[in-house]
């Protein structure tokens, strides 16, 4: 008998660790770890519970079940191995500092209990540390990493175990959000599970993938895959996603469509790039990756930070994004960049404040990707946005939401306001703003002035004269 310990791989199909355990007879287990839950938030835990419910149903269809437990895995996993007389425990590797410390402790506990264990490469195509510079160092620039990532062959999905590879077990009911100490999320959290993820992938590859390269930055257009929470929790395997997208690329009607799908595949490479960055530099979770000569003197501005969180900054595209985050536990990627730039370069607030808010509100929060994105926007990360390139939120809105469809969807106060007035909101006199939308705020900062202050802040950190 063997145990497979599920973590961020909440699926049966294309699961290498599970397939390894099912070479004998596998008992699928999931442990609600209080240390991990301390870093949780209602949207993510709600999504995870939905994914676990779908995973349990998949096991029950094959005459097995998902065994659930609560407690410190260092104690719980060896106890489960003893209960089921397992001689091997498998799990799929995770690469954050917290996960690596946990897994090291579980390995030691299993060794002391005399139980073999095997950590399996599954979550990414190419393990961190396997794509390096010619000197053997991790890449700090995505372009060079990406070329090697695309050039390397990708493995095919692994087959799911049949009923004969799964143990005849019965698990306890799943806990509720309240049982785990969480309130119901304010957002309408997307549905989880492999079936949902496959439907999203198929929908994307049948049409939007061919427009992705050209239109992915336009938030009013539905051309993104929406797979991010599924990749976060592993309700679908990365090999299945890559394989289906690669087939779409092969079937593309023309070169532009093929290039468009390549742009999506490049986003998968970005995920693995940031995974490698976190693996090589676990301290980046709360520290700048890029070192300046002096500390960046971020502002302590609670009122501005709260206005940003509430979507009440008076910059329409920023406010639309922040309200989408609250409503859907998700935000369009272009808008994520805009709101991150606004917080760090217009409000001059530390990127860590924004990262913490995203961690609280996103269903798809992923430590590596979110941290990489925030540090890119804040000009403190790998391959970062140069400090002197600062998004203008109004021109970003005008370019990527020209008809203000996205803004009006999430900022109802502006529903009847013409697009040209929305995009020039910062230039309108107060009386005109009141006439158009009396309940929508005036801009809380002057972008032009704050841009100059941001430049001065970074030049001081750099030690420029």
The string of DSSP codes covering 303-331 is HHHHHHHHT-SS-HHHHHHHHHHHHHS--
Backbone angles phi, psi at 160, to 5 degrees: -70, 155
Backbone angles phi, psi at 406, to 5 degrees: -65, -45
pLDDT for position 465: 63
Q: What is the pTM of this model?
A: 0.96
pLDDT for position 162: 82
pLDDT for position 415: 95
Superfamily (CATH H level) for 2-122: HUPs (3.40.50.620)
Positions in the chain short of pLDDT 70: 465
In what helix (H) or strand (E) does residue 3 lie, and over which residues does it extend?
Answer: strand 2-6
First to last CA, the chain: 68
Q: Give the ranges where 362-428 is alpha helix by DSSP (H).
A: 367-377, 393-400, 405-410, 419-423
Model pLDDT for residues 29-52, shown as the tens digit of each residue: 999 999 999 999 999 999 999 999
Report the CATH architecture of 194-280.
Alpha Horseshoe (1.25)
Residues 6+ positions from 303 with CB-CB distance below 8 Å: none
The domain segmentation of the chain, as residue ranges, is 2-122, 194-280, 302-462
Which of 3.30.2130.10, 1.10.579.10, 1.10.260.40, 3.40.462.40 is the CATH number of 302-462?
1.10.579.10
């Amino acid at each position: 008998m063997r145990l497979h310990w599920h973590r961020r791989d909440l699926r049966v199909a294309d699961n290498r660790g599970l397939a390894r355990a099912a070479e004998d007879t596998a008992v699928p287990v999931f442990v609600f770890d209080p240390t991990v839950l301390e870093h949780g938030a209602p949207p993510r835990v709600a999504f995870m519970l939905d994914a676990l419910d779908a995973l349990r149903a998949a096991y029950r269809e094959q005459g097995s079940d998902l065994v659930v437990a609560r407690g410190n895995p260092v104690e719980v996993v060896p106890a489960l191995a003893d209960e089921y007389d397992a001689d091997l425990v498998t799990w799929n590797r995770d690469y954050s500092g917290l996960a690596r410390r946990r897994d090291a402790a579980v390995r030691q506990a299993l060794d002391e209990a005399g139980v073999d264990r095997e950590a399996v490469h599954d979550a990414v195509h190419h393990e961190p540390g396997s794509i390096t510079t010619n000197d053997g160092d991790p890449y700090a620039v995505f372009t060079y990493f990406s070329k090697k990532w695309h050039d390397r062959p990708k493995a095919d999905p692994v087959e799911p175990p049949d009923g004969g590879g799964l143990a005849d077990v019965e698990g306890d009911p799943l806990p509720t959000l309240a049982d785990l100490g969480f309130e119901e999320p304010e957002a309408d959290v997307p549905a989880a599970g492999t079936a949902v993820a496959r439907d999203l992938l198929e929908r994307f590859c049948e049409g939007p993938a061919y427009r992705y390269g050209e239109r992915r930055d336009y938030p009013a257009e539905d051309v993104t895959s929406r797979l991010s929470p599924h990749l976060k929790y592993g309700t679908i395997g990365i090999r299945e996603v890559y394989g289906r997208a690669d087939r779409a690329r092969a079937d593309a009607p023309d070169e532009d469509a093929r290039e468009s799908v390549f742009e999506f595949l490049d986003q998968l490479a970005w995920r693995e790039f940031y995974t490698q960055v976190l693996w090589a530099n676990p301290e980046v979770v709360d520290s700048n990756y890029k070192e300046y000569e002096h500390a960046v003197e971020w502002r302590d501005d609670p009122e501005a930070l709260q206005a940003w969180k509430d979507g009440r900054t008076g910059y329409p595209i920023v406010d639309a994004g922040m309200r989408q985050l609250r409503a859907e536990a998700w935000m369009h990627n272009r808008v994520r960049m805009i709101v991150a730039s606004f917080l760090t370069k217009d409000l001059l607030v530390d990127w860590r404040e924004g990262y913490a808010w995203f961690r609280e509100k996103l269903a798809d929060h992923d430590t590596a990707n979110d941290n990489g994105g925030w540090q890119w926007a804040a000009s403190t990360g790998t391959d970062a946005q140069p400090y002197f390139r600062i998004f203008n939120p109004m021109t970003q809105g005008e370019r990527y939401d020209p008809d203000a469809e996205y803004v009006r969807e999430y900022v109802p106060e502006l529903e009847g306001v013409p697009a040209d007035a929305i995009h020039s909101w910062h230039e309108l006199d107060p009386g005109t703003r009141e006439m158009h939308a009396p309940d929508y705020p005036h801009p809380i900062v002057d972008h032009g002035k704050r841009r100059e202050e941001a430049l001065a802040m970074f030049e001081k950190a750099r030690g420029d004269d």
